[in-house]
Structure 1
Amino acid sequence: MATAGSKSVLFVCLGSICRSPIAEAVFRKLVSDEGVSHEWSIDSAATSHWNVNCSPDSRAIKCLKSHDTETSHRARQVTKEDFMSYDYILCMDESNLRDLKRKCGQVQNCKAKIELLGSYDPQKRLIIEDPYYGSDEDFETVYQQCLRCCKSFLEKCS
């Protein structure tokens, strides 16, 4: 849950073992490198319950390590409280967006701005495709998209 007095972002994908933990780790590193970690509450979550308490996919961890980026993420499912406590909920594709908007509709006092992370991509790649059934190169593509989008998001929030 987001902390009062800080900016907050929750990254969301279907299972929270590939895309959203990559985005979370990338954004954590960016705010740390910028010296503004204390200003942010950052997490990631899933629209589904399939991988709750699981670590990220080994290929996601390998990709992050190749970019000197660490993660201690454990998958969790989005909660009603997330919609009331996070400033931004940034998701990876239209299916995530539909699920989040449906869940948000069941929550009073929703403060979160729900958007596609790809809406911040300077290269205009709106969708961050799920690499789960793909190759190491697909995880690298996700990493690069998340890096571009997170940099742009951070700039717009600064």
Structure 2
Amino acid sequence: MAATQTKSALFVCLGNICRSPIAEAVFRKMATDAGVVDKWVIDSGATSDWNIGSSPDARGLACLRMHGIESRHSARQVTKEDFKSFDYILCMDESNLTELNRKAKLAKDGEAKIELLGSYDPQKQLIIKDPYYGSDEDFEKVYEQCVRCCKAFLEMNS
């Protein structure tokens, strides 16, 4: 019997403490609930080096907990190797997309498909706005967008 092909997704935002850890946790829970988590490598990272080693924002963790999801993520910066080892690099806004495309050129032989996570949103909200300077409601909006996008992404890749 042939081994099942593993797929991989890296979720990316500016600092890897708000949006991308929420997306990572949401996608991991969906893949777990669907019984396919063992077929995925799932992680998140930052375009910047500002928060390396930090835990996700407390408001984001509280939002996830409210929805029955835990996260033990530690912020990290996207590396050249990520462009080679991940199938999909899904980012939150145009600034992330521009920076990832720039870094991908430096990685040379990377084959990751770089796109906006919001491109999977059935409600067509392309940009997932940074809630860092916002309220708990802004984190909830990010969560809801991530749920819609991750659900569509998982369905397209199952």
Query: Which portions of structure 1, spanning 4 or more consecutive aligned residues, are displaced by more than 6 angstroms?
Result: none
Secondary structure at the counterpart of residue 106 of structure 2: coil
The 2-side partners of 1:108 and 1:137 are apart by 40
Structure 1: distance between partners of 2:100 and 2:59: 26
Counting only pairs closer than 5 Å after superposition, residues 49-88 of structure 1 correspond to structure 2 as 49-88=49-88
Aligned residues between the structures: 155
In structure 1, what residue type is equivalent to 2:104? C
**Counterpart check, 1:112 vs 2:103:** no
Residue-by-residue CA offset, 1:31-62 (whole Å, 9 max, x unaligned): 00000011000000000000000000000000
- Distance in 2 between residues matched to 1:38 and 1:65, nearest whole Å: 23
1:62-93 Cα shifts (integer Å, max 9, x gaps): 00000000101000000000000000000000
RMSD in angstroms over aligned alpha carbons? 0.9
Distance 1:36 1:89 in 2: 19
Letter in 2 for 1:62: A
TM-score scaled by structure 1?
0.97
Deviation at 1:146, TM superposition (A): 0.2
User: Matched residues in 2 for 1:140 and 1:77: separation?
Assistant: 24
Amino acid at match of 2:125: R
Aligned partners of 2:69, 2:44: CA distance in 1, in Å?
A: 16
Could you tell me which runs of 5 or more consecutive residues in structure 1 were left unpaired when the two chains were aligned.
none
Q: Report matched runs for 1:126-145 at 5 Å.
A: 126-145=126-145
Give 1:148's aligned residue: 148
Question: Structure 2: 5+ residue runs without aligned partners?
Answer: none
Matched-pair identity in %: 68
- Distance in 2 separating the partners of 1:149 and 1:49: 26
How far does the alpha carbon of each residue in 1:93-129 deviate from its partner, in whole angstroms, 9 at most, with x for none? 0000000000001112111000000000000000000
- TM-score, normalised relative to structure 2: 0.97
